[in-house]
Amino acid sequence: MQELQQAVWLVDGRSLEILFANVAAVQLTGRSAEEMVGRPVLELVSSPEDEIFWSRPLPEISMGICSCTEVWSARRKRSVEVERRVQAVYAAAEGDEGCEHPLLLLSMQDRSEQESSRQEYEVLLGELRATLDSAADGLLVCDLQGAIRAFNQRFAQLWSLPAPMLARRDDAAVFAHMRQQLADPAACDEQLVARTDGPMQEAVDILRLGNGVILEQRSVPQLAHGRLAGRVYSFRDISRQAEVQASLRLAAQVFESSLDAIFIADEHHLILRVNRGCEQLLGAPRAPLPGSAVTALLDAGMDEEAFLAQVAQRWRREGFWEGEVILRKAVGASGPPIHLSWVVLRDEGGTVVQSIGFMRDLTQQRAAQRRIEELAFTDVLTGLPNRLRLHERVQEAIDAAQGSDAQFALLFLDLDRFKIVNDSLGHPFGDRVLKLVAQRLLRCLRQSDMLCRLGGDEFVVHLANSDAQMAESVARRVLEEMLQPFQLDEMSFSIQGSIGIAMHPQDGRSLDDLIKHADTAMYRTKERGRGSYGFYQPQMNSNLLARMKMEHAMRQALGQGHMAVHYQPQVDMASGRIVGAEALLRWNDPQLGVVSPAAFIPLAEESGYIVTLGAWVMEQAAREAAYWQDSETPLVISVNVSALEFRQPGFLHRVARLIEHHGLRPRQLELELTESVLLQDAQDKEEMLAALARMGISLSIDDFGTGYSSLAYLKNLPIHRLKVDKSFVDGLPGEDGERAIVQAIIKMGQALGLEVVAEGVEDKVQREALSAMGCMFYQGYLCSPALPKQQLRDLMLQDRLH
């Protein structure tokens, strides 16, 4: 037993004392054989299980035991795990007196190394499982029949396996769940089943899940001892990678299809790649370009080193350089101007690795800029400089004249009655005439002068270094040139203009002042008869200022109650009774006092405000006529209608509405028109007059004989009355000329069946002379001036009492 590798003890079966211990027992316990022999076996044990075992009766102990337990090792100073066996060496038979001392064989096998190996194995197994669970890829292991053998946590996360499915083994449920997660299960069925064709082959598949995740599935065979044992599937989330790849494909597509020319260069500014736009811009195939220096394509107006230093400085400060350079064609010729944006790309350490350049051809942009400048500083129709260009030229002249006696003149030319050309021949024809006028005006000027078109038919001439004498000479030359007939489309016609002249510095020290004053002088020239020229005089502005103040006050007066309608009685010559009244507008301003109609009526006609005034006067007259129509002495109220008011759209409708609104009998309202109204657009006016006549409204011609009288319209138009102007009546009865004119008017009216009313009768002599000629009615101061409506009513009451 000494040679045995196991520790062996012989134990007395009755006393349970150790009788023998071999060398292996000594090594296991660290105690000598002498120390152990004669000692109770219980000193070797340390577990409660051993104590219970050795406390049993001998027959039970003799049946033996094989178990694992621990024994104390004095040498190791710790308990050692052992495999313990107990068996009887020989058994004592009942009644056999010859065997009084049965022996028990106790053997122990040291298992500490095996236990240590087992623990290490479990640790390694745990670490391996932890490693697999920590892997970024999901792993699935299947056997040769496709049954699941194992999978890691990442696999469960990628496929969103529910917790109950992780707690039990159900391969069919796992595969069914995986199929449900696919975006297109039917299309991916073959990719999910175990591969039976070519089991040793590797495979890669792309799976798209319903939640948008894209998985890469790799399948490889699993080998055990060189033999096929199953397959291992790895699943990797490549959604981000797919997105990046899609972005790269898109970037590549944008790079190739971009309208801008793009190049990519390395850290040494050598071209690596160019797109199709760059090839087209350079006019050369892209194949020879890689390897060329970027600076070989560009002309920045400086040497290469200076340019690259400037680019590097901007790269450090802003990360890009941009500016305009000239492109060098591949053949070496100078190319178009381009806008270059050159962006630097750096690595994490800040080192330049690449750069990208974006080039855009500026040829069309430069052409557009030139065109914009032309449009901004040039008149589109004539090609002459416009007001902006004139402003630049005049400002330069003003700046140059400071501190010196230098003078220059500004001529403002306006074509007379050019509206007739546009209205009769059309605006396209008128535009062509303006071009001819511009050509003629240019022939009258020097190279240093500038002709500018302000707009419409207005031109301005800047005469450089010119005094008043030279300005007058140029103005005369222009007017003489304009007197020559124009020829266009086999049509010969004449165009004349009026010129106003302003001198710098006495008439203004800015362009606006000079144009304003030259314009003022031009309008004063038109007032004197047109077709001439005139210099600006300071008093002209004072007159214009007074007119401007009057116009402003006039527009405010109506709303502020400073205007009123007065009525001048019209008297029957035969009976001496008042039979009508003319409505006349009167203005009494708090600041200006009583303003004469001769002053503000022309201003209202010129400004167009006469339409508003006329409508208000007609409204008041219709109301007053309605008052008189049911009285004992009905009066016909007559109202003056200006040419502008008569031409307004809706005039007939407005008159009809007034009559209806006031319940007025139309014959109680009379409209007074001047001869000029009837002569303009005669056909249209004839239709309007006929419509008024059909309404029952009386019509009269005011100031008859002062304009261009035509017997044709007297014959054809539905006129009821002629009014002899006051200027003819003033000469009665002594002036033979006026007497003859008045006599002719009255006779003509009688011949045409028209009533005749004389205006401005101031004394009985005039009345008797008119009565002797056969005039039927008169109005004037002899009877009464124009009166407010209440005074007119009082006058009518007195007339009835007498």
170-222 pLDDT, tens digit per residue, is 888 888 898 888 888 876 666 665 444 566 788 888 888 888 888 988 888 98
Q: Which residues contact 17 (CB under 8 A, 6 or more apart)?
A: 11, 38, 39, 40, 41
Q: What is the CA radius of gyration of the chain?
A: 62
Q: Is 761 exposed, middle or buried (0-12, 13-18, 19+ CB in 10 A)?
A: buried
Give the amino acid at 575: S
- The packing angle between helices 610-629 and 597-607, to 10°, is 120
Tens-place pLDDT, residues 227-256:
888 888 989 888 888 888 877 778 777 777
Q: What pLDDT is recorded for position 444? A: 93
Give, as one character, the DSSP assignment of residue 706.
S
Angle 108-111-117 from CA coordinates, rounded to 5°: 175
- Strands of the sheet containing 408-415, edge to edge, are 450-455, 458-463, 408-415, 497-504, 533-535
> Which tokens go with 239?
């959604």
> Which tokens go with 289?
């370009």
Kindly report the backbone phi and psi dihedral angles of residue 397, in degrees, each rounded to the nearest multiple of 5, phi listed first: -65, -40
How far is the C-alpha of 315 from the C-alpha of 322, rounded, in Å? Answer: 10
Nearest Cα to Cα of residue 655 among 674, 639, 635, 675 = 639
Q: How many Cα atoms occupy the beta-carbon half-sphere of 165 within 13 Å?
A: 18
Contact 769, 733 (CB under 8 A): yes
Nearest Cα to Cα of residue 601 among 567, 563, 568, 637 = 563
> Which tokens go with 291?
């390897």
- Strands of the sheet containing 7-12, edge to edge, are 18-21, 7-12, 103-110, 78-88, 65-73
For residue 358, the tally of other CB atoms under 10 A from its CB is 19
Give, as one character, the DSSP assignment of residue 296.
G
Q: What pLDDT is recorded for position 712? A: 64
Give the amino acid at 600: F
Q: How far is CA 674 from CA 136, 671, 691, 701, in A?
A: 103, 10, 18, 6
| DSSP string of 299-334, one letter each residue | E-SS-HHHHHHHHHHHHHHHSEEEEEEEEEPTTS-E
Q: What pLDDT is recorded for position 404? A: 78
Contact 49, 70 (CB under 8 A): no
3-class state of residue 180 by DSSP: helix
Q: How many Cα atoms occupy the beta-carbon half-sphere of 363 within 13 Å?
A: 5
Kindly report the backbone phi and psi dihedral angles of residue 564, in degrees, each rounded to the nearest multiple of 5, phi listed first: -150, 160
Helices within 319-426 (DSSP H only): 363-377, 387-401, 418-425
Helices within 717-801 (DSSP H only): 726-729, 736-751, 764-773, 789-801
Q: What pLDDT is recorded for position 710? A: 61
The per-type count for the chain, helices as H runs and strands as E runs, is 30, 32
User: Which mean pLDDT values do the consecutive 10-residue runs of the chain (802 residues) have?
Assistant: 84 89 87 89 80 87 86 83 85 49 85 75 75 81 86 88 84 88 76 57 86 88 84 88 80 77 89 84 69 84 88 90 82 75 88 90 84 82 91 90 85 90 88 94 93 93 93 93 89 89 90 90 85 85 74 92 95 93 95 91 88 95 92 91 89 94 94 78 78 92 72 77 91 86 91 92 94 95 94 87 67
